[in-house]
Amino acid sequence: MRRQVVKPYFNANGELPRICWTLRWEQTVESAVEHGEQNSHLTLGPAAIRDVLRRINLKAGNPETPVAVIASSASRYFFRQIVEPTMRNICFLSHNEIPVETKVLSLGVIQ
């Protein structure tokens, strides 16, 4: 089942191109989440959002090539909210969603 989730993001060599975040970025996003009674929302400022988009764009390369960005389950949803409207080739996964037999091609770490 998990292989089906990531398969659309494989490159021609059967590898999953992926980018990881540093712990600092994970914590930045997680600390900018306000939790309400019925929902949570991101309060990250516009400059920080532009910085996230710029950094992903630099690592991802070609906007036509699918790329997986690995993020913690706590921050993944909010990263997705920031990125998906402008970068449709990016998907957000947690480590446990990638099957063990998957060949991973590292595109780097977002500092």
pLDDT in tens, 56-78: 888 887 778 889 999 888 888 88
Give me 43's structure tokens.
């309060």
Reported as type and span, the H/E element at residue 103 is strand 103-110
Superfamily for domain range 2-32+41-110: FHIPEP family, domain 4 (3.40.50.12790)
**Mean pLDDT value across residues 39-62:** 89
**For residue 3, what pLDDT is reported?**
61
31 pLDDT band, cuts 50/70/90, is very high
Specify the DSSP class assigned to residue 34: E
Work out the mean pLDDT of the chain and round it to a whole number: 88
**Mean pLDDT value across residues 43-57:** 91
Q: How many CB atoms lie within 10 A of CB 54?
A: 11
Sheet with 103-110, strands from edge to edge, namely: 90-93, 67-70, 15-21, 103-110
- The domains of the chain are located at 2-32+41-110
103 pLDDT band, cuts 50/70/90, is very high
